[in-house]
Amino acid sequence: MATINANVTISSDISSYPISISKTMSMTKSANPAVGLEETTGLRTKKFTSTTAAVIVEHDELTDDKAHKVYIRNASTNRANFFYVAYNASAAAAATAETIGKLYGGDWMLMPYDGNVNITVASSTASETQYLEYMVFADGIVAAKG
Amino acid sequence: MATTATISISSPDLMPGSSLSIAANTTLTKAGVTADLTQMETGVISLVSGTEYRLGPLATEMAGDAHDIASYLYICNTTTEDATYYIDWGINETMIGRLYAGDWMFIPWNASDDAAEIEIEPQGGTNTIEYAFFNSDFILPTAAS
């Protein structure tokens, strides 16, 4: 088994009493929280030059109903642009029912994922190139059939 | 009034011969601009299993067009029980993943309408969560006269 640690720190002075959240988790298997995840689809970087929705995580490559984790980052810097991120077979847009949110330039997200439906994204702009970084920490990968 | 979110993911042995080290930092701002977020809500809640709860406001509880509001949500399941304890989380009546004991998540969220609410449903027994919600436009319910 592998050891994978993910640490988050969120700091905010919105309130008069600034908050600082710091938490570390070890990514472990759903069936046994003492055993670390040991598979990944690898870290990927993808360039987007159109607004066409694209699948970045194909659910049929992963075992269903498991403790997968998905990390996604908009590696671009322009806060005016974003990626829609959706839990959907093929679409990602404002009106898509399972659109999770908009990942603006520089933003990142880490979420647990059950592997039952694709993760799709769509760039908000075709006039500026955007880059997306993403990685799945898998609790079971289904090898592609030849 | 800056709000920042930093992540680091590391593993010495996930990919043999290539240690993994991811680090990213972002300053959370209003949608499409560089102005800081101005509102927040935090909490700790113990939730019994078998019931679905809404976390965060409905789209109609946010000023303006909820599509265009930048919101961010952090949730941590602070439960220390075994693997039978977890929290299903999802949007629009569709479960997306399971937050096991000790797990945390951080996502952007843009409610397209009231149906696109954040839903959580504890399983296995009572789960306790910590959460923080950052935004600039949620509004409070009007008090009854």
Probe site for chain A from B93, B105, B114 (most A CB atoms < 10 A): B105
Please, which pLDDT band fits residue B59 given cuts at 50, 70 and 90? confident
Query: Residue B67: pLDDT above 90?
Result: no
Mean pLDDT over A6-31 rounds to 94
Rounded to an integer, what distance in angstroms lies between the CA atom of residue A100 and that of residue A84?
8
Q: DSSP string of B61-117?
A: GBSS-GGG--EEEEEEE---S-TT-EEEEEETTEEEEEEETT-EEEEEE--SSGGG-
Per-residue pLDDT tens over the stretch A98-119: 899 999 999 999 999 999 999 9
Least Cα distance to A55 among A84, A104, A89, A83 occurs for A89
Amino acid at A33: P
In a domain, B51, yes or no: yes
In a domain, B19, yes or no: no
Whole-number percent of chain B with pLDDT over 70? 97
CA distance A49 to chain B (A): 19
Please, which pLDDT band fits residue B143 given cuts at 50, 70 and 90? confident
Please, which pLDDT band fits residue B6 given cuts at 50, 70 and 90? very high
Least Cα distance to B106 among A135, A144, A7, A32 occurs for A7
Looking at mean pLDDT, say which of A118-132, B111-125, B130-144 comes out highest: A118-132
In a domain, B11, yes or no: no
In a domain, B123, yes or no: yes
Domain of B55 in residue numbering reads as 33-135
Please, which pLDDT band fits residue B141 given cuts at 50, 70 and 90? confident
Query: Residue A58: pLDDT above 80?
Result: yes
Q: Is B1 exposed, middle or buried, given 0-12, 13-18 or 19+ CB atoms closer than 10 A?
A: middle
Please, which pLDDT band fits residue B61 given cuts at 50, 70 and 90? confident
Rounded to an integer, what distance in angstroms lies between the CA atom of residue B39 and that of residue A35?
39
Buried-exposed string A61-81: b where 16+ CB fall within 10 A, e elsewhere: bbbeebbbbbbbbbbbeebeb
Mean pLDDT over B22-28 rounds to 96
Rounded to an integer, what distance in angstroms lies between the CA atom of residue A19 and that of residue A28?
28
pTM recorded for the entire structure:
0.95
In a domain, B45, yes or no: yes
Domain ranges for chain A, please list them. 39-138
C-alpha A125: how far from chain center: 20
Interface confidence, given as ipTM, is 0.96
In a domain, B8, yes or no: no
Rounded to an integer, what distance in angstroms lies between the CA atom of residue B135 and that of residue B145?
28
CA distance A145 to chain B (A): 23
In a domain, B142, yes or no: no
How many structural domains are present in chain B? 1
Question: Of the candidates A9, A12, A80, which has its C-beta nearest B6's C-beta?
Answer: A9
In CATH, the number for domain A39-138 is 2.60.120.10
In a domain, B64, yes or no: yes
CATH number of the domain to which B58 belongs: 2.60.120.10
- Please give the pLDDT value at position A1: 76
- Please give the pLDDT value at position A141: 94
- Please give the pLDDT value at position B65: 63
CA distance B68 to chain A (A): 9
φ, ψ for residue A36, nearest 5 deg = -75, 155
- Please give the pLDDT value at position B100: 94
Q: How many CB atoms lie within 10 A of CB B61?
A: 16
Q: Quick one: closest CA in A to B103, which residue?
A: A25
Query: Residue B140: pLDDT above 70?
Result: yes
Under DSSP, the state recorded for A37 is -
Rounded to an integer, what distance in angstroms lies between the CA atom of residue A10 and that of residue A29?
26
Rounded to an integer, what distance in angstroms lies between the CA atom of residue A24 and that of residue B96?
22
